Chain A
Amino acid sequence: MNPQPTDQVARVVSDSLVKWGRDPDHLLQHLIAVQHRCSFVPDEAVERLAAELGVTRSRIRAAVDFYAFLHERPRGDFDILFSDNITDRMVGSTCLMQRLCERLGVEPGVTRADGRVAVDFTSCTGMCDQAPAILVNGLAVTSLSPQRIDGIAELVEQGTPLGDWPSELFAVSDNIRRRGLLLSRSETEGAGLKRLLEEGPERALAQVERSGLRGRGGAGFSTAFKWRFCRESASVESYVVCNADEGEPGTFKDRVLLTSFADLVIEGMTICAGVVRARRGFIYLRGEYRYLIGHLESVLERRRAEGLLGGAILGKRGFDFDIQIHLGAGAYVCGEESALIESLEGKRGITRKRPPFPVTCGYKSHPTVVNNVETFLAAARIVELGGDWFRAQGTEQSRGSKVLSVSGDCASPGIYEYPFGTRVSQVLADCGAETPQAVQISGASGTTLSAAEFDRVIGFEDLPTAGSFMVLDQTRDLLDMVVNFAHFFAHESCGFCTPCRVGGALLRDLADKVAAGRACAQDLEEIRSIGGLMKKASHCGLGATAPNHLIDTLEKFPDVYRRRLRRSDYAPAFDLDAALSEARVLTGRTDAAAHLEEEG
């Protein structure tokens, strides 16, 4: 292990303080900087930050312990994380991880003794269209093959600095397969902003209202209503936040929107700021997309130079608005807007009690508009082209289009934009899914569709979705997906409320018990019962949606479970015979009588 010299830690902390200042709200950004440079957050950094920011050590340690990408112990020169969505597993990620571990001589999750490398799993990294994928020191490497793995093992063994790795390793494709209202054009030239200034904020807001735009993060709250609420609040200070914490397994459209439509997203934020009179905004970018920071910073910088951002936007005195990028650090729950705000304030991402909602009491207790990446993009075009342009597509309750992230068993995974109201079967035909068994729509927290439901339509009135669309064909065992999701939710529960914290872990263990062929009918009843309880009693949407996949598959694919049940009414949670193994060792018994009889 290579202990960090005190002066290096001191330098990292002081550099970060220069960049972010001493407001404790930026604590998470400091910790990410320290983690990045030192491969962990040493006690020395905790002490320094506690003193400089005036916060308790325990607050800092609690944050380090909360975020998956922050560590108390060194991770090594190379920290390699395998994306662990079911779509990664379906294309062999576990074998590739095993191969890499063997090449490097490491155990998953344990830093190699020489401090060179650690290999581990992480939640979905948003590269499902080019899976399997990993993060190396936070940077995405996609389309892994055994050859790529061997090449990476060699680079690690040689100690080649990441900056000298072949750049093609870090190539990420957009894979836009179908363009609709939003994706047909990426240029803006500030057209929406000019319109805002010509016609005034009320007219711009009226266009958003007219468009019928609803939040694209999945919840579907009226965007105009959110903006109006914030605009009409009495507060002199308000904020605009772009939720780019795209953590829902199977979703990756925001990655593409931020890559190729960043101008429009930022323009949407700026228009929103003009409407709600905000002077500051944030893009909360999930840690998995840190490779996009340089690109986003350059777009922000260019827009400042063009007078589209910063002071006196487009020459209008008093129209000042600027945007900072805050990185996340591996916490799915931060996609929930109030947890995201807690995280922006440098705290653990625990969802707040609601009401009050962020539009009245958000960042630093000021009114805050939090919208999805796609929502801001749509809003920019709506103000530019008018509400009627947008509402001409879609359905009565779901106007406009939806950008889908299609992955899994299909010929052409990638980004597909459709008018709302499109049938699932249409998407399946277009992406080349030949023998689909099931579609997991809106991610792990969404709905599992069986073939009988493929004529259902995408829209708030039938299948609301944040955009994730994962196809599983007839060769797949859906229990693999269930186990993967159950582990995901147990890992991502913030731990605040009892039903999600404990219930999620109980469901994970019960799913494992089914997979191991040790479950009985009573266990399935218990899954339903715990799932129902979590839906009713959880504090936030994470716990309330975490059991969906189990409840859906139990109902729609009962054979997936039935064929694995033991033929008994009851089986204990632990293996009785295995529990006696220690006693057998102690007594030196190996005979048959020292074993419990296996019941049939």
Chain B
Amino acid sequence: MSELKRFRLDGKEVPFERGQTILDAALAAGEYIPHLCHNPELAPHGSCRVCLVAVKGRRVASCTAMAAEGMEVESNSDEIRNIRRAVVQMLFVEGNHICPGCEKSGACQLQAVAYRLGILAPRFAHFFPRREVDASHPDLIIDFNRCILCELCVRASRDLDGKGVFAISGRGLASRLIVDSPSGKLGDSSLAFSDRAATICPVGAILPKHRGYEVPIGQRLYDRARIDQVGDPAADAREG
């Protein structure tokens, strides 16, 4: 049997298997690295850049970078924390995130990661984009104001549900989530309530209908414990 390989994360030894990324190995070892566009059910993506770490003076997305024997990985340095905080602050000003009025508040990964990083106020100028809400589906609603373009729904629908209901359209700041249907509306698409894509949204962009605030704010997942302690099971919207 081959010896288990190890790398060091902020000085702590983390075991890993061949082909494992830094982030997956860290999470498996119970070491939290903040992340948003990553979900272990899906292939690594590397777009949100929240999970950035430093390896040999270079910054890499830990969700896509492979772990290597003896590697020194820095995740909790001032530099990396500052980068992460700025990246999350960028996501907040890009969309319209009004936490107090959001059904996902307390179970939202963006909010939880922001608290974990000590973000209590906005830093950059808000773009205040005009975005729509699509309530055409019988069981689900999309509020595009809250989409952070993590592509989890895109990937889940394509790779797990075998449907391809979602895609990212446009480019730059005008990039946006679109729905594959003749009208472009969710109600005309093949998305089903039971699809993984329907529940994987880490923020409050895709939400189930016919229920609201079933778990009172203050008693929700990340109200009860920090995201670095409980991870992201709230990726399933049915969790509260």
Bound CA–CA A491/B174 (angstroms): 9
* Chain B CB within 8 A of A529 CB: yes
Within 8 A of A (CB), among B41-55: 44, 46-50, 52
Task: Provide the residues of chain A in CB contact with B170, threshold 8 Å.
Answer: 62, 65-66, 495
Contact A62 B169 (CB under 8 A): yes
Shortest Cβ-Cβ A-B pairs, 9 listed: A495-B175, A573-B125, A58-B180, A502-B90, A58-B167, A62-B169, A493-B172, A65-B169, A65-B170
Task: Provide the residues of chain B in CB contact with A494, threshold 8 Å.
Answer: 171-172
Chain B residues proximal to chain A, CB less than 8 Å:
44, 46-50, 52, 59, 61, 64, 83, 86-87, 90-91, 93-94, 124-125, 127, 149, 164-175, 178-182, 184
* Chain B CB within 8 A of A533 CB: yes
Task: Provide the residues of chain A in CB contact with B184, threshold 8 Å.
Answer: 61
Bound CA–CA A78/B124 (angstroms): 40
Within 8 A of B (CB), among A417-444: none
CB-contact partner of A533 in B46, B87, B174, under 8 A: B87
> Nearest Cβ distance between residue B97 and chain A, in whole angstroms?
13
> Nearest Cβ distance between residue A126 and chain B, in whole angstroms?
20
Contact A539 B49 (CB under 8 A): yes
Task: Provide the residues of chain A in CB contact with B182, threshold 8 Å.
Answer: 47, 57
Within 8 A of B (CB), among A308-336: 331, 333
Contact A58 B125 (CB under 8 A): no
* Chain B CB within 8 A of A503 CB: yes
Contact B49 A498 (CB under 8 A): yes
* Chain B CB within 8 A of A536 CB: yes
Please tell me which stretch of A293-301, A383-391, A405-413, A504-512 contacts chain B, meaning at least 4 of its Cβ atoms lie within 8 angstroms of it: A504-512
Bound CA–CA A533/B64 (angstroms): 19
Q: How would residues 486 to 505 of chain A score, 1 for a CB under 8 Å from any chain B CB and 0 otherwise? A: 00001111111111011111
Within 8 A of B (CB), among A504-534: 504-506, 509, 526, 529-530, 533
Task: Provide the residues of chain A in CB contact with B90, threshold 8 Å.
Answer: 498-499, 502-503, 506
Contact B172 A490 (CB under 8 A): yes
Task: Provide the residues of chain A in CB contact with B50, threshold 8 Å.
Answer: 498
Contact A502 B49 (CB under 8 A): no
* Chain B CB within 8 A of A36 CB: no
Q: Known interface pairs A502-B93, A503-B90. Does A497 touch B49 (Cβ–Cβ under 8 Å)?
A: yes
Task: Provide the residues of chain B in CB contact with A47, threshold 8 Å.
Answer: 182
Q: Known interface pairs A58-B179, A502-B94, A530-B86. Does A66 touch B169 (Cβ–Cβ under 8 Å)?
A: yes
Chain A residues proximal to chain B, CB less than 8 Å:
47, 56-59, 61-62, 65-66, 331, 333, 348, 353, 490-499, 501-506, 509, 526, 529-530, 533, 536-539, 573-574
Contact B169 A56 (CB under 8 A): no
> Nearest Cβ distance between residue B60 and chain A, in whole angstroms?
10
CB-contact partner of A56 in B44, B49, B127, B180, under 8 A: B180
What residue of chain A has the Cβ atom nearest to residue B189's Cβ? A58
Bound CA–CA A506/B94 (angstroms): 10
Contact A490 B173 (CB under 8 A): yes
Task: Provide the residues of chain B in CB contact with A498, threshold 8 Å.
Answer: 47-50, 87, 90-91, 94
Bound CA–CA A579/B234 (angstroms): 39
Contact A505 B173 (CB under 8 A): yes
> Nearest Cβ distance between residue B94 and chain A, in whole angstroms?
5
Bound CA–CA A307/B52 (angstroms): 52
30 contacts between A and B (CB under 8 A): A47-B182, A56-B167, A57-B181, A58-B167, A59-B164, A59-B167, A62-B169, A62-B170, A62-B178, A65-B169, A65-B170, A65-B171, A333-B171, A353-B46, A495-B168, A495-B171, A495-B174, A497-B46, A497-B48, A498-B49, A498-B91, A499-B49, A502-B93, A503-B90, A505-B173, A530-B124, A533-B86, A537-B52, A539-B47, A574-B125
What residue of chain B has the Cβ atom nearest to residue A505's Cβ? B173
Contact B173 A536 (CB under 8 A): no
> Nearest Cβ distance between residue B20 and chain A, in whole angstroms?
16
Instruction: List 14 other contacts, CB 8 Å, given A57-B180, A495-B168, A496-B47.
Output: A57-B181, A65-B174, A333-B171, A491-B172, A495-B170, A495-B172, A496-B175, A497-B46, A497-B49, A498-B91, A505-B172, A506-B93, A526-B124, A533-B86
Contact A537 B179 (CB under 8 A): no
Task: Provide the residues of chain A in CB contact with B47, threshold 8 Å.
Answer: 496-498, 539
Contact A529 B178 (CB under 8 A): no
CB-contact partner of A501 in B59, B94, B179, under 8 A: B94
Bound CA–CA A393/B161 (angstroms): 58
What residue of chain A has the Cβ atom nearest to residue B173's Cβ? A505
What residue of chain B has the Cβ atom nearest to residue A523's Cβ? B125
Q: Known interface pairs A58-B164, A501-B94. Does A493 touch B171 (Cβ–Cβ under 8 Å)?
A: yes
Bound CA–CA A529/B178 (angstroms): 32
What residue of chain A has the Cβ atom nearest to residue B91's Cβ? A498
Contact A533 B83 (CB under 8 A): yes
Bound CA–CA A481/B173 (angstroms): 22
Contact A529 B86 (CB under 8 A): yes
Q: Known interface pairs A533-B86, A536-B59. Does A353 touch B172 (Cβ–Cβ under 8 Å)?
A: no
Task: Provide the residues of chain B in CB contact with A65, threshold 8 Å.
Answer: 169-171, 174, 178
Task: Provide the residues of chain A in CB contact with B173, threshold 8 Å.
Answer: 490, 493, 495, 501-502, 504-505
Of A490, A496, A506, A539, which is in contact with the most chain B CB atoms at under 10 Å from its CB? A496
> Nearest Cβ distance between residue B24 and chain A, in whole angstroms?
15
Bound CA–CA A498/B113 (angstroms): 15
Bound CA–CA A539/B231 (angstroms): 25
Q: Known interface pairs A498-B91, A499-B49. Does A62 touch B59 (Cβ–Cβ under 8 Å)?
A: no
> Nearest Cβ distance between residue B190 and chain A, in whole angstroms?
10
> Nearest Cβ distance between residue B8 and chain A, in whole angstroms?
21
What residue of chain A has the Cβ atom nearest to residue B93's Cβ? A502
Bound CA–CA A353/B21 (angstroms): 13
Contact B83 A536 (CB under 8 A): yes
Q: Known interface pairs A59-B167, A501-B94. Does A537 touch B87 (Cβ–Cβ under 8 Å)?
A: yes
> Nearest Cβ distance between residue B47 and chain A, in whole angstroms?
5
Bound CA–CA A598/B142 (angstroms): 43
> Nearest Cβ distance between residue A109 and chain B, in whole angstroms?
14
Contact B172 A504 (CB under 8 A): yes
What residue of chain A has the Cβ atom nearest to residue B180's Cβ? A58
Task: Provide the residues of chain A in CB contact with B169, threshold 8 Å.
Answer: 58, 61-62, 65-66
Task: Provide the residues of chain A in CB contact with B175, threshold 8 Å.
Answer: 495-496, 501
Contact A62 B168 (CB under 8 A): yes
Bound CA–CA A24/B44 (angstroms): 25
What residue of chain B has the Cβ atom nearest to residue A349's Cβ? B171
Bound CA–CA A348/B149 (angstroms): 15
Bound CA–CA A340/B50 (angstroms): 26
Q: Known interface pairs A58-B167, A62-B167. Does A492 touch B83 (Cβ–Cβ under 8 Å)?
A: no
> Nearest Cβ distance between residue B51 and chain A, in whole angstroms?
11
Task: Provide the residues of chain B in CB contact with A353, threshold 8 Å.
Answer: 44, 46, 64
> Nearest Cβ distance between residue B144 and chain A, in whole angstroms?
14
> Nearest Cβ distance between residue B162 and chain A, in whole angstroms?
12
Task: Provide the residues of chain B in CB contact with A506, threshold 8 Å.
Answer: 90, 93, 124-125
Task: Provide the residues of chain A in CB contact with B179, threshold 8 Å.
Answer: 58
